[in-house]
Structure 1
């Protein structure tokens, strides 16, 4: 066996360990950012939280901005896994759109973290040009595209009126989710979710082919 061949498994183990460490750091960073916002993330503060040296965390994220970007991407992955992926099991059309919205409304509970990172980031970076704001906008645009695509499938099935504008419906659904986030944090989830569901049903009826 050549030295190169012998070292290959060790290299793979090291890479796997490094990836696992990075994932663990990001998991903690995500939880901290949900409570403190992306601005609350620092290399030093995170190192203390995960029991590592600053240089150890810095080895995985070359700057505070890199850490913020990676944390935002982690939030996006978690959101998609919670909201979109399960909904894809539903038949294409209105059933899938309903499943997406139901999962989205459930996401607002945030029983295991401190809130929606995207809402916090939107407030923090809406007027601060730069890579973090650009990444946030990309995530937001991608999600609205997913909503519009789901709406288009319902239009194609004849379940929504033919003149429905998918992007407009996506905008209105986003508005419902924002209202739910707002009220859930101030007045409690249950009442806010019930009102949001009623608003969603009224919205869908307004786009019915027979409306």
Structure 2
């Protein structure tokens, strides 16, 4: 009986977080309300309060749940590929696909909540900043692995990995912002072309990268050539 109650509690927690991630990606983390979510889902308000305790706890749990979704959708599909700029390109494709398919209805969850909390100190800001920093460092790590594997045409010591990571992230996030604002997919194609051109200009083996990016077909949930 105890195990059954625990599982029911875990299922309720998952149900709530699925809802709060979607809400926060559109309305922001400040748009979350324990009482409203309980009413929306037909749950006991006291039960939801027992699971999360406070609005801040709910916000932090939502951020951590969104991180798990992000890892599953963006990072895991390419994590076992060999080091090189092709792996970096595949990761960028994965990110553009994640944003364009609206895994979260507001586009990239972390782009949305970062704008909301970037100048607001506190635990929620710190959690977002940590996850954003982890993502930046992950891209830099993949680029550095490509550098050590001889993937760049320029001498290894002259490669500015943080600068290249910054440029790649800037193109992806601008595509997300424009697409969410204007409701168009063309921005993902432009970002993909820009990222691929930047990587092809840097790589020591251009044949390992496609000459052009795929056409992203977000109705099927995957790129198509």
TM-score normalized by the length of structure 1: 0.88
Please say which structure displays the higher CA radius of gyration: 1
- Distance (Å, rounded) in 2 between the aligned partners of 1:11 and 1:108: 40
Structure 1 residue 14 displacement after superposition: 2.2
The one of 170, 185, 197 aligned to 2:165: 170
How far the C-alpha of 1:159 sits from its partner, in A, is 1.2
How many residues in Structure 1 have an aligned counterpart in Structure 2? 202
* Structure 1 residue matching 2:185: 3-state secondary structure: helix
**CA–CA distance in 2 between the matches of 1:130 and 1:40?**
17
Q: Which residue of 1 aligns with 2:88?
A: 97
Identify which of 56, 75, 80 aligns with 1:65: 56
Candidates 6, 24, 30, aligned match of 1:15: 6
Does residue 76 (structure 1) correspond to residue 67 (structure 2)? The answer is yes
- Whether the aligned pair in 1 keeps the contact of 2:24 and 2:32 (CA below 8 Å) is yes
Q: CA deviation at 1:91?
A: 2.0
Q: 1:121-200, aligned counterparts within 5 Å?
A: 121-160=113-152, 161=154, 162=156, 163-200=158-195
Question: For the residues of structure 1 that align with 2:149 and 2:97, how far apart are their CA atoms?
Answer: 26
Residues of 1 paired with 2:83 and 2:204: CA distance? 17
Does the 8 Å contact 1:109/1:189 carry over to 2? no
Calculate the TM-score normalised by the size of structure 2.
0.83
The aligned residue for residue 99 of structure 2 is 108
Task: Give 1:177 deviation, angstroms.
Answer: 1.1
| 1:209 CA displacement | 4.5
- Measured in 2, the distance between the counterparts of 1:99 and 1:112 equals 18
| Per-residue deviation, residues 34-81 of structure 1 (Å, max 9, x unmatched) | 221111001111111111122111010010000001101111111111
Q: How far is the alpha carbon of 1:89 from its aligned partner?
A: 3.2
- Contact preservation (8 Å) 1:184, 1:190: yes
Secondary structure class of the residue paired with 1:59: helix
Asked if 2 retains the 8 angstrom alpha-carbon contact of 1:144 and 1:170, the reply is yes
Confirm or deny: 8 A CA contact 1:83 1:103 kept in the other structure.
yes
Partner of 1:204: 199
Per-residue CA deviations over 1:66-118 (Å, capped at 9, x if unaligned) read 00011011111111111100011322222211110000111111435421221
